[in-house]
A and B are shown apart, each in its own frame.
Chain A
Amino acid sequence: MIAILLNEVASTVAAEADGGDLSWLLALGPAGAGAVYAGLWRYYRNTHASHSFEQETRIEAQPATGSDAKVDEIKGTKKSNIDGDNRANHRQRVQRFD
């Protein structure tokens, strides 16, 4: 983890070495300490762990059917993803309808 972090920092520093502001580097220590604390705590306590019933249960599903209709266009947004992307968050419940 630390090696990846250092590698990332080195490539960014190299890219900005031509006179750019490097004061953000001072945040490296606190950020690294926080990441190590959180990572180790997660490794010991495993509070994120649960049974992956979506993958580990015998399921037979027909191919999904449906429709896709273009309803709008977005121009010049700074956001790289859709707001509230929950495509991979299968367990987040949304409004039920009948």
Chain B
Amino acid sequence: MTSLPPPSDGDRPPAVDTHDDPAIDSRIEPVVDPIIDTRNERLGDGVNRCPQCGATDIQLRPSAGLLICLFCRHEWSEARLDETIANGDLDSLRGTTIGSGASDIDTGADSLITMKCAGCGAEVVVNIAEQMGARCHWCRHVLTINEQVPNGAVPDAVLAFKITHDDATAKIREFAGKRRLFADRAFVRGFKAENVVGVYMPYMVVDGNASADVTGHGEVETRQYSRGSGNNKETYYDADVYEVQRHVDFTVDDLTIESSAERADMNTSINTNNIINTILPFDTENAVKWNASYLTGFTSEKRDQDVAHLQPELEDQLLSIARSRVTSSVERYDRGVRWERERLDVHGTRWVSMYLPVWLYSHQQEGGKRMVHYIAVNGRTGEVMGSVPVSHARLLVGALTVGTFLEGIAIAILVAS
């Protein structure tokens, strides 16, 4: 028999409600400008020159995370975004502040940009729906898009690849190698880890200042006892029921949310986008101001979601965070807690759009749903996650083998007894 005491009053934190306190709001300076200008004023559309020799053949060297001039080998980096904008204290964050690269997408914005080559004067057309730069077909200068066009293609910041293609290939090979035996045979036959591609995926990185309230019921076991005997013996419980209310104030720094509608769809019965989501988080505090040269040699996916579209997902994640934060305060309810109602007050948010680096290996499964299976590697931390299509026939044989073995043991025990 177990008998537990009720929660003691001395353990409980004082019931202080601060979220409606006008004194707090009066201390907060109102947001003056809801738009943070994140344009890289050092760069314009067109020729992006090496600051040392003036050459335009520039690309990322992932092992160093730096841009490198392919002519003079000079290496440099754009300034970190966090150093160039006023972040302020998250506790004082009020209203909605948006980076200029995270502004609403203008669906009518032309995706064809005409740039005048600063090398020879020729006019070069770039389709920014597909690429962020082009080589002048006359003088071979590299022209890049650096100005923030309102179509979601140019973010506030970019986090450069740090994991090299070779490292990503090795990680994907190791991940898939552990899952060969029961994998779909077409996947095994066609597997070539070298086919991994580097993709800059679009995300919104959000700072937030919020409060949440949750209410529900919790139960504390007061007695445990048995009734009956032999095979009819059953355990019974007595418990005290409590109405539980909790309030928590919190800030989040760099919460990362998918800003492509297709990637944000995490229905695992029809896609494997959850794999790409799983390799989060990134060290977003090291993201730098936009420079299209970081994308040279990589592909990118355009943002198609505005802040308003992502607000419900943000609120959902903030509520989940709030619920996780109050868990330690209800541990005394040993029979559990059933949260029934919840409330969220978002005092302030700051949104910045970013391209984050992902190494992606994809395999389209034949037949059935023709689902695309991804193995993804975080381009900064090297965290790997994947979905490997299974051979149901092999899986069935494996399961039946184990089942038969266990059944044999069971029959042997029954015969012996």
A9 to B414, CA, bound (A): 12
Query: Given the interface contacts A66-B247, A71-B242, does A53 sit within 8 Å of B236 by beta carbon?
Result: no
Query: Could you show 8 A-B contacts with beta carbons less than 8 Å apart?
Result: A33-B404, A37-B399, A40-B399, A49-B275, A54-B321, A77-B239, A82-B219, A97-B342
Residues of A within 8 A of B321 (CB): 53-54, 57, 59, 90
Contact A44:B388 (CB < 8 A) given known A53-B255, A53-B317, A68-B12? yes
In this assembly, does B277 line the interface, its C-beta being within 8 Å of a C-beta of chain A?
yes
* Cβ-defined contact, B403 with A57, below 8 A: no
Query: Across the interface, do B16 and A65 meet the contact criterion of CB distance under 8 Å?
Result: yes
Q: How far is the CB of B322 from chain A (nearest CB, A)?
A: 8
**Interface code A14-51, partner B: CB below 8 Å = 1, 0 otherwise?**
00010011110110111111101100110111110111
In the complex the two chains form, is B241's CB within 8 Å of A74's CB? yes
Judge if A94 is at the interface, Cβ distance under 8 Å. yes
- Cβ-neighbour of A68 out of B7, B234, B255, B277 (below 8 A): B7
Q: Are A44 and B182 in contact (CB under 8 A)?
A: yes
B6→A47 contact, CB < 8 A? no
Given contacts A29-B410, A59-B325, A62-B249, contact A46 B386 (CB under 8 A): yes
Let me know if A51 and B249 touch, CB within 8 A.
Answer: no
CA distance in complex: A51, B410 (Å): 41
Question: Is B308 an interface residue, CB under 8 A from the partner?
Answer: no
CB atoms of A58 and B183 under 8 A apart: no
| Chain A residues near B116 (CB-CB < 8 A) | none
The answer to whether A50 and B274 have CB atoms under 8 Å apart is yes
Taking a contact as CB atoms under 8 Å apart, the answer to whether B252 and A59 are in contact is: yes
Q: A29-B407, A67-B245 are in contact. Are A43 and B179 (CB under 8 A)?
A: yes
List A residues at the B interface (Cβ < 8 Å): 2, 5-6, 9, 13, 17, 20-23, 25-26, 28-34, 36-37, 40-41, 43-47, 49-51, 53-88, 90-91, 93-98
Instruction: Report the interface size class on chain B.
Output: 35 or more
Q: Which residue of A has the minimal Cβ distance to B238?
A: A75
Q: Residue on B with the closest CB to A20?
A: B231
Q: Which residues of B sit under 8 angstroms from A94, Cβ to Cβ?
A: 214, 216, 339-342
Asked if B399 and A78 sit within 8 Å, CB to CB, the answer is: no
Q: CA separation between A60 and B179, bound complex, in Å?
A: 39
**Given A64-B329, A96-B341: 4 more A-B contacts, CB < 8 Å:** A57-B321, A64-B248, A77-B238, A78-B237
Residues of B within 8 Å of A51, CB to CB, are 256, 277-281
How far is B408's CA from A25's CA once the two chains are assembled, in angstroms?
10
Query: What's the nearest-Cβ distance from chain A to residue B280, in Å?
Result: 4
> Which of B239, B243, B408 neighbours the largest number of chain A CB atoms within 10 Å of its CB?
B239
**Stretch of B55-63, B104-112, B330-338 that contacts chain A:** B330-338
Chain B residue contacts of A70, Cβ below 8 A: 6, 240-242
Q: Are A65 and B278 within 8 A (Cβ)?
A: no
Check if A37 sits within 8 Å of B281, measured CB to CB.
no
**A contact residues around B327 at 8 Å (CB):** 87-88, 90
Q: Is the CB of A76 within 8 A of B236?
A: yes
- Within 8 Å by CB of B402, from A32, A65, A76, A77, lies A32
Task: Name the residue of chain B whose CB is nearest to the CB of A51.
Answer: B280
A91 CA to B399 CA in the complex, in Å?
32
Residues 340-370 of chain B: 1 if any A CB is under 8 Å from the residue's CB, otherwise 0?
1111100000000000000000000000000
In the complex the two chains form, is A61's CB within 8 Å of B250's CB? yes
Bound Cα distance from A5 to B409, whole angstroms: 12
Look across to chain B and name the residue whose beta carbon is closest to the beta carbon of A66: B246
Whether A57 lies near B254 (C-beta < 8 A) is: yes
Q: For window 194-208 of chain B, which residues contact chain A by CB distance below 8 Å?
A: none
Q: Are B387 and A33 closer than 8 Å at their CB atoms?
A: no
In the bound complex, residues from chain B placing their C-beta under 8 Å from that of A87 are 327, 330, 333, 336-339
The CA-CA distance from A9 to B106 in the complex, in Å, is 64
